[in-house]
Chains A and B, each alone.
Chain A
């Protein structure tokens, strides 16, 4: 896609139009997409300009059909069903969000996408995280991070 304008100019205009904050995220992503900016780096810039955590921006980009990661092999899904919520999935979502957004850029911005979902049906293992369809249970913030790292090693 041809890029006729600089990312910072596009972002500047978009911010004037839509403001900052989470509500502006969707429209801003749409504007930079039209101008041809879909890389992980551009998304990081969006996060910075909107003063939002990176994982929120990645998640929003992944939810949109056009900016959806082409390589969506690596979906990290944190179960936020009732049992997992009570077992502490909220803290796992927060810390994995940071963990995944601080990963080095790769071919696709979305090497890993963080998703949340409702009950996965295996409450006995709460809290659980599903990576590429494989369920990991009885997690803490710490072990959840470790599981992600393990999956990364397998990919290399």
Chain B
């Protein structure tokens, strides 16, 4: 089913019914097949009507367990992980009808997840397509409170005393930024939520927009009220289809209820020209903090965090961690506890090599910096508090390759926006030489110079942050590419060798048959050999060998 069908087929039931079945419908859930699971429940319920509400929820923070189905009734709340359509009849019959949960498919929600919930307060708890769910959890109350009992000045004061800073590298104080806009004499004021980032990786803003769209609208309207802005925008990257649709649906529902009457209209999409001169722009994570602060008070917010960074930080955690998905920790939490407690530690058999925060503008940190805190004044730099994604890499990742990957992305990013990308090209080419085994120490020195110069240049700016951190913390790995012409992670195709392990090789000859350049030779039932000078390192033999006898070193 496509997203359109999914939205038009929305039953619009709230999660308020006494008995309910909730299917995870974030991007992660949809990718894992939640639409099929949902239809399977729908069909079963149509066949044998049970008085139960079938509904959807956004991302609950356990993407690796999707499709997650949560059942709520007199027995309480319980969740099934990795549900497929063929599991549906049993869950419905045994659990919902007979009251005997299917023990082997149940999972206990780890209490570590969702311990602090400001940014992710509604994610996975509400049906993002239903305003009723949002209202039942106190949604739009902050906006109502502001309009009826607060003037713009008191909102600005509240935000200032909360210490909220925008969750990006600038880390500007939101209250002060909004005050500057409110003071501006320029008539055409605007407020905007911009989710676009120079980062090819996962983003917490997307999760927020897909799972809790109304909170973005509420935050934006509060900012509009505080600054007397005339226009409000939400900018979604082009491929955030689900986010865009849910935001549009949310604006429509809020308008229908008259909640947005008197506020500037919210436009959702891509804007190229910013329509006013004075305005405030922030990411979704920053925006959804605003209603929480107005609703719960600045003191409750500033009680969390460090001296310079208040509140929480949410990340989309991915990579080699046991848990994958959004996590939220108080500012000041160490990276170690973010990864090993909130995100459940590493996958079995993986050991942590690097933590990648954000994209090219973020940082790549080694294990030795895990004690660093998540905050703007962090020992590991402000990207701990600014990045929406945190990708944990193990020994199978090559940092030089990752730097090259980001630099090609950045080159494209600058090109598409009509920027000057010559410096990116130079860096990317240098990295290519190194990862191809053609690089020397002069290339490493050049990279260092380019990274240092780039960081202070206004055109490139933070785009070299990641490169700089890899050069600083993983220099030895670069040097091995240059000196030994070897990629220790066995990632760079030209710097790895394929060998046949004589002990495991059964001499079946499959590798010889798939080898296009005919680099493999040998006799049946005897170990085969790979001629390194003829080998093109395509890796076909590794995939073809059933016995795992061809190894990459």
Contacts and interface: CB of A to CB of B under 8 A. Distances in A.
B492 to A, nearest CB: 10
B391 A120 contact: no
Contacts of A83: 201-202, 318-319, 391
A120 B237 CA distance: 12
B27 A122 contact: yes
Contact of B203 (A85, A119, A124, A128): A119
B539 A91 contact: yes
Contacts of B32: 122, 125, 135, 137
B402 A81 contact: no
A22 to B, nearest CB: 13
Contacts of A124: 28, 63-64, 66, 318, 324-325
Contact of A119 (B3, B202, B539): B202
Nearest to A98: B538
B438 interface: no
B27 A120 contact: yes
A82 B28 contact: no
Interface residues of B, number: 37
Contacts of B332: none
B316 interface: yes
Interface in A114-156: 117-126, 128, 133, 135, 137, 140-142
A86 B239 contact: no
Contact of B202 (A90, A121, A135): A121
Interface centre among A90, A118, A123 (most CB of B within 10 A): A123
Interface in B1-38: 2-3, 26-28, 30-32
Given A82-B389, A86-B393, A137-B31, A123 B239 contact: no
Contacts of B396: 86
Given A82-B356, A82-B391, A117 B319 contact: no
Given A82-B200, A123-B202, A118 B239 contact: yes
Interface residues of A, number: 25
A86 B402 contact: yes
Given A119-B203, A123-B63, A82 B318 contact: yes
A123 B200 contact: no
Interface in A62-103: 80-83, 85-86, 90-91
Most buried by B among A82, A117, A135: A82
A119 B316 CA distance: 11
**Which among A118, A120, A141, A142 has the highest number of chain B CB atoms within 10 Å?**
A118
Interface string B196-213: 000111110011001000
A82 B359 contact: yes
A141 B210 CA distance: 31
A122 B63 contact: yes
B495 to A, nearest CB: 14
Contacts of B397: 86
B531 interface: no
A133 B543 CA distance: 27
Q: Is the interface of B mostly helix, strand, loop or mixed?
A: mixed
Contacts of B3: 133
Given A124-B324, A124-B325, A85 B27 contact: no
A132 to B, nearest CB: 9
Contacts of A117: 239
A91 B496 CA distance: 14
A123 B206 contact: no
B552 to A, nearest CB: 11
A85 B325 CA distance: 17
A105 B450 CA distance: 46
A118 B359 CA distance: 11
A81 B202 CA distance: 7
Interface string B403-419: 00100010000000000
B2 A133 contact: yes
A85 B207 CA distance: 20
Which of A85, A128, A140, A142 has most chain B Cβ within 10 Å? A85
B201 A119 contact: yes
Contacts of A122: 27-28, 30-32, 63
B318 A123 contact: yes
Contacts of A142: 543
A24 B397 CA distance: 34
A121 B396 CA distance: 22
Contacts of B199: 82, 118
Contacts of B318: 82-83, 123-124, 126
A124 B393 CA distance: 13
Contacts of B31: 120-122, 125, 128, 135, 137
A121 B195 CA distance: 14
Interface string B175-202: 0000000000000000000000001111
Contacts of B30: 122, 135
Select the residue from A86, A91, A128, A135 with max chain B CB neighbours within 10 A.
A86
Interface string B287-308: 0000000000000000000000
B319 A86 contact: yes
Contacts of B207: 121
A74 to B, nearest CB: 15
B405 A85 contact: yes
Given A82-B359, A91-B539, A142-B543, A121 B402 contact: no
A109 B87 CA distance: 41
16 contacts: A81-B201, A82-B199, A82-B202, A83-B201, A83-B318, A91-B539, A117-B239, A118-B199, A120-B27, A121-B28, A122-B27, A122-B28, A122-B63, A125-B28, A128-B31, A140-B543
Given A83-B202, A137-B32, 4 more contacts: A118-B201, A119-B201, A121-B28, A123-B316
Pairs A-B, 3 closest by C-beta atoms: A82-B201, A123-B318, A121-B27
